[in-house]
Amino acid sequence: MDLGTLSILALTDQLVGTIENSSGGARLERRADGLVMASHLLLLKAQLLARATRPAA
């Protein structure tokens, strides 16, 4: 997966949609796993963006 092309908005929309649509169908552990995975992807993307915008020393 290329995090450089990952859209934070698309990932967030997918996460919210998954949580809203699986309120009764998926087990809590499964939803929690998805939330943790999405948050790790967002963290990695944020670190990538921060590194790209940091001025060279």
Residue type, 43: L
* pLDDT at position 24: 67
| Chain mean position to CA 48 | 13
Query: What kind and span of H or E run contains 5?
Result: none
* pLDDT at position 15: 78
Strands (E), 1-54: none
In sequence order, the 6+-apart residues with CB closer than 8 A to the CB of 19 are 31, 34, 35
* pLDDT at position 38: 83
- pTM attached to this predicted model: 0.65
How far, CA to CA in Å, does 26 sit from each of 5, 22, 42?
A: 29, 5, 23
